[in-house]
Amino acid sequence: MLNFIWLFRRERTQQNSKRLKKKRKRLARFSITLLFVALGLVTFLTLGFQAEKAKALEITDNVMRSSWRGTSFPVENFQRYSSAYGYRLNPDGSAGWGFHRGIDIAAPAGSYIRSWSNGEVVEVANYRLCGTKLVIKSGEWQHIYCHMKGRAANSPQGRYLNDPESGLQIWEGQYIRAGIRIGRVGTTGRTTGPHLHWALKYDNTYVDPGLVLQAMYRQQN
């Protein structure tokens, strides 16, 4: 009887040992697979970042060489630049950093916003963060305006910026000339005060608007 119990325990111990070895092998294979996936992801992100950085540098070089005559500063009653392009602490006071893909231009609420360049209005929309938003396309460039007064609205004629007090009606599909008033500075979306968030894209890549404004200023003086 004692021999039988001993043999039973020995058999059970061997079975448990085999199961444990199988689990360890599976875990090792999973860990190796996970490691290769992580390395592949890091490589992909690194290459993607390098490609984006190279493209941004090429665009920056083009910005400095281009002619900016005929463009317009986007805000009347300019007060100051309240936030630059690039990484910054979250403006709402929450912990952490975020990448700011434009510049913030402070001006009194209700100050008029002007189109930076000739182009077609391709978007009028309402967003939780950007607030009332207008996008104008000028060739390969897109200029983006956020936190505007009023709201995007629909009518049988199409989508437009509804800000009755401005005396303006800006429609999707409308052609706008540089320097024309397109709206007013407001506080729609997530803001800490009245300002225009102004962003620029070239060939679908964000560009520092500060560099463009510097180039504009040098050519006008």
Q: What is the pLDDT of residues 77-134, one digit of tens each?
A: 999 999 999 887 776 667 778 889 999 999 999 999 999 999 999 999 999 999 999 9
| pLDDT range class, residue 150, cuts 50, 70, 90 | very high
Model pLDDT, residue 69 = 85
Q: Residue 62 above 50 pLDDT?
A: yes
CA torsion sign, 73 to 74 to 78 to 81? negative
Which amino acid belongs to residue 62? Answer: N
Strand partners, 199: 144
Three-class HEC string of 52-114: HHHHHHHHHHHHHHCCCCCCCCCECCCCEEEECCEEEECCCCCCCEEEECCEEEECCCCCEEE
3-state secondary structure of 12: helix
| pLDDT range class, residue 60, cuts 50, 70, 90 | low
Model pLDDT, residue 209 = 94
> pTM for the complete prediction?
0.74
Q: Residue 14 above 70 pLDDT?
A: no
When mean pLDDT is compared across 8-12, 169-173, 185-189, the lowest value belongs to: 8-12
Contact by Cβ (8 Å): 98, 143 = no
Specify the higher pLDDT residue, 216 or 24.
216
